[in-house]
Amino acid sequence: MANDTDLIHPRWVRLTHWINALAVVVLATSGWRIYDASPFFAFEIPREITLGGWLGGAIQWHFAAMWLLVGNGLIYLARNVISGRLWHKFFPLSPRAFFADLLAALKGSLSHADLSHYNMVQRAAYLFVMVDSVLLVLSGLVLWKSVQFPILRELLGGYEAARREHFLAMAALVAFAAIHLLMVALVPRTLLAMIRGR
């Protein structure tokens, strides 16, 4: 039987990862339905890939998943900070190493021999997702309770600006998820590590 030194992802990391994945899928697909009710770009999202059926249903799904993302995200962040994992896994960052790792990834020569170690591209991407998620929550608060958060609304440039920021932050998160899934397809043992921990 494997011992704890073989552990790549602790149980709490795996659990919060999969809960966040579920929350993001529900938030994105219900959010697309909400966007379609009042689009501000010259396109609409195909109804077949949206969730909720109608605006009220989409809003209910969106709020349910919002609480799941916020609660789970706070647990994930708190555990990372308290355990020291945040500093150990995601720092230091080096622009030179980032571009070297990015170039190696584009050439298909980035090493994945040690799954317990994040390369600079992974570190930057995961930190970006954390910051992007905070922007999603803050802009979402403005959209939900604009009157109750006037200072936050103004910091984000007003209600309409917050709508666009929320949409673009969601688009960035979906783009990250797509790239993340592509990387998993290229290195499938990363999926096994996120399921089994080893």
**Tens digits of per-residue pLDDT, 132-191?**
999 999 999 999 999 999 999 999 999 999 999 999 999 999 999 999 999 899 889 899
Can you give the pLDDT at residue 5? Answer: 57
- Which structure tokens are listed for 23? 């929350």
The pLDDT of residue 15: 97
| Model pLDDT for residues 177-198, shown as the tens digit of each residue | 999 999 899 889 899 999 998 8
Q: Where are the alpha helices (DSSP H) in the chain?
A: 11-37, 55-83, 85-90, 95-107, 120-144, 150-155, 159-186, 189-196
To the nearest whole percent, how much of the chain has pLDDT over 70?
A: 97
The structure tokens listed for 162 are 């917050």
Q: Cα 136 to the chain's mean position, in Å?
A: 10
Residue 32's pLDDT is what?
Answer: 97
With left for phi above 0 and alpha for psi between -120 and 50, is residue 7 left, alpha or beta? beta
* pLDDT higher at 3 or 59: 59
The percent of residues above 90 in pLDDT, for the chain, comes to 83
CATH superfamily of 4-196: Transmembrane di-heme cytochromes, Chain C (1.20.950.20)
For residue 39, cis peptide bond before it (omega within 30 degrees of 0) = no
pLDDT at res. 171 = 96
Three-state SS for 57? helix
Average the pLDDT over 101-125 and give the result: 90
* pLDDT at residue number 113: 82
pLDDT value of position 111: 83
Q: What is the pLDDT of residue 2?
A: 44
Which two tokens mark 180? 């993340």
- How far, in Å, CA of 148 to CA of 145, rounded? 5
Give Cα separations from 170 to 24, 82, 102, 116, 181 (angstroms): 9, 28, 23, 28, 16
Whole-number mean pLDDT of the chain?
93
Asked if the model's pLDDT at residue 69 lies above 90, the reply is: yes
For residue 28, count CB atoms less than 10 angstroms from its CB and return exposed for 0-12, middle for 13-18, buried for 19 or more: buried
Band of the pLDDT at 1, cuts 50, 70, 90?
Answer: very low
- Quote the distance between the C-alpha of residue 130 and its chain's center: 7
Dig out the tokens for 24 from the structure. Answer: 């993001």
**Identity at 28, one-letter amino acid code:** A
